[in-house]
Amino acid sequence: MSRILIVDDVRAQRRGAALTLSKLGHEVIESENESEAVEVIDRESFDLVITDMRMPPEDGMPEDEESGLRVIKAAKDRDADTAVLVMTAHGSIKNAVEAMHQGASDYLEKGFSTDELRMKASKALKQNMLVKENARLSEENAYLKTSISEPFALDNIVGQSYIMKKLLEDVHIAAQSSSTVLVRGESGTGKELVAKAIHYNSPRRDKIIVTLNCACFPADLIEDELFGHCKGAFTGSSSDRKGAFEESDGGTIFLDEIGEMPLEMQPRLMRVLEQKEVKRIGENMVRNVDVRVVAATNQNLENTASSGKFRGDLFERLNVISILLPPLRDRKEDIPILVDHFIDMFSKETSRKIKGISKPALNMLIQHDWPRNVRELKNVIERTIIFMEGDVIEEKNLRFSTPIPQSSRNNGNESIAEVPVGSSLEDMEKVLIKKTLDANNWNKRKSAGQLGIKHPKTLLDKIKKYGLSQDVPSAPASQND
């Protein structure tokens, strides 16, 4: 049901229009002059105002050619989206045109039929509804864009160390350009976070960012993902399909794990970067695209290019702006602020009131090497908050992906497991069990508890499996030897 105001000093005409619209289910308010109409509009809002163009401003005063225009202005000042129909006498079309310039959507020539009134009122109300719906969607879209972009604001890249402050400066500068960016760093350092921060802080922030992980697709599918295809290009292609470059036109494409890009696909990627154009599979037509490319890798692409597994010219084309993310072990001064950040995040997600972390527990986190970087620290805090009791994180609460022997908990200078990179899990387990047993003077029950092994017999089986034995101090040498 819509609210309609009818303004007309001719009572019979006003009543007839009101009756017609009331029968359609609308709420209709009547007003007989400009002064009364403006007073009503000041108090209430309407979806549609139908007003005569010539009326007395007040009772007892002569008609005024400007009175209808003043009613339109009052309605539009109250709500710019209010629909307006004007009633005008035959031969006064000029006045109706002026009213439409002031915001009226249509006019009714005096003597209009009931059907004409219904049709034009319905049309005006429908337009009013569409305008309001578009405004609502625009507001919702703006909110969603803000909601999406907020997590990637530069101040959400947490860190106060010198190396991170310099990194944020580089990210800010990179975001303002349209140049290709190569984000480099170990797994878990936050390469995707930085890539999206570049997009959402750039002039392209209102456009889409499309993410494609090059390691997730086999060579025969990644071409279709990147460039799309036309109908009939291959069996099963029943319709045209845009690829990631077309989807991100005007915005940004984030190519994660770019080092995994198949060698045979790299020349086509070079063409997009150099010519800003793509061709769908099975199509000869060239399509221009305006796309900003941000790529990321945890590989040393210089070495990969030297070995022939990655094109050197593509590397140079991607490496226009290079951003190197430091591993967490090189910025341990950022661990306290990261811990606070994750405690706050997961406290809200789990509805737990965690006050903070004890100094011994924080020192334990600082002393850890974090081979899987910030992602690993985030997982430890999340897992700890889920399983812990109390409101302050203590040493005993910390849940690492691999249990830490008690000796390592009390001595930050000791390594958990001194095994070379590339060792098997069994090699690591063997070293960890041996160190835990030695730290507990081969108390198997205590060691099993620290290792998270429920039954001491399981520990005995592993000792036997790995051929472990307690180190026995050698006897002191005889003076006669």
Closest-CA residue to 402 (of 387, 435, 380): 380
pLDDT at 140: 59
In this structure, what DSSP letter does residue 468 have? Answer: -
Tell me which long-range contacts 55-59 makes (C-beta under 8 A, separation of at least 24). 55/7, 55/8, 55/9, 56/9, 57/33, 58/33, 58/34, 59/33
DSSP states along 262-328: -GGGHHHHHHHHHH-EE--BT----EE---EEEEEESS-HHHHHHTTSS-HHHHHHHTTEEEEPPPG
Residue limits of CATH 3.40.50.300 in the chain: 153-326
Q: How far apart are CA 451 and CA 408, in angstroms?
A: 13
Q: Which two tokens stand for residue 405?
A: 């022997």
Q: How far apart are CA 85 and CA 104, in angstroms?
A: 6
pLDDT at 22: 92
- Using one digit for the tens of pLDDT, what is the confidence trace for 174-199? 999 999 999 999 999 999 999 999 99
Q: How far apart are CA 416 and CA 368, in angstroms?
A: 9
Cβ pair 14, 33 in contact under 8 A? no
CATH number corresponding to 3-138: 3.40.50.2300
Helix (H) or strand (E) run with residue 228 in it: strand 228-229
Among the residues of 79-160, which ranges form H helices?
Answer: 93-101, 114-149
Residue 254: how many CB atoms within 10 A of its CB?
Answer: 25
pLDDT at 172: 92
Cβ pair 195, 254 in contact under 8 A? yes
Residues belonging to the chain? 481
Q: Which two tokens stand for residue 170?
A: 């580089």
- Using one digit for the tens of pLDDT, what is the confidence trace for 57-68? 887 787 777 888
Q: How far apart are CA 353 and CA 22, in angstroms?
A: 57
Tell me the CA distances in angstroms from 367 to 305, 419, 447, 480, one per residue in order.
Answer: 36, 18, 22, 47
| Phi, psi (deg, nearest 5) at residue 224 | -65, -40
pLDDT at 152: 52
Q: How far apart are CA 428 and CA 445, in angstroms?
A: 21
Residue with tokens 């908990």: 409
Cβ pair 53, 29 in contact under 8 A? no
Closest-CA residue to 149 (of 209, 103, 190, 96): 209
Residue limits of CATH 1.10.10.60 in the chain: 420-475
With a cut of 50, list the residues of the chain below it in pLDDT: 143-149, 404-417, 421, 473-481
Q: How far apart are CA 211 and CA 254, in angstroms?
A: 5
Dihedral angle sign, alpha carbons of residues 31, 36, 37, 40: negative
Q: How far apart are CA 169 and CA 175, in angstroms?
A: 10
Question: Rounded to the nearest 10 degrees, what angle do helices 11-23 and 114-149 cross at?
Answer: 60
Residue 138 amino acid letter: S
pLDDT at 403: 52
Among the residues of 324-395, which ranges form H helices?
Answer: 335-350, 359-367, 373-387
Fold designation for 329-401: Helicase, Ruva Protein; domain 3 (1.10.8)
Cβ pair 277, 289 in contact under 8 A? yes
Helix, strand, coil fractions of the chain, as percent rounded to 5: 50, 15, 35
In this structure, what DSSP letter does residue 475 have? Answer: P
Q: State the Cα torsion 213-217-221-224 to the nearest 10°.
A: -10
> 404 Cβ partners below 8 Å, 6+ apart?
364, 368, 416
Q: How far apart are CA 142 and CA 73, in angstroms?
A: 29
DSSP states along 24-53: TT-EEEEESSHHHHHHHHHH---SEEEEES
For domain 420-475, which CATH number applies: 3.10.110.10, 3.40.50.150, 1.10.10.60, 1.10.20.140? 1.10.10.60
Residue limits of CATH 1.10.8.60 in the chain: 329-401
Fold designation for 153-326: Rossmann fold (3.40.50)
Residue with tokens 């105001």: 5
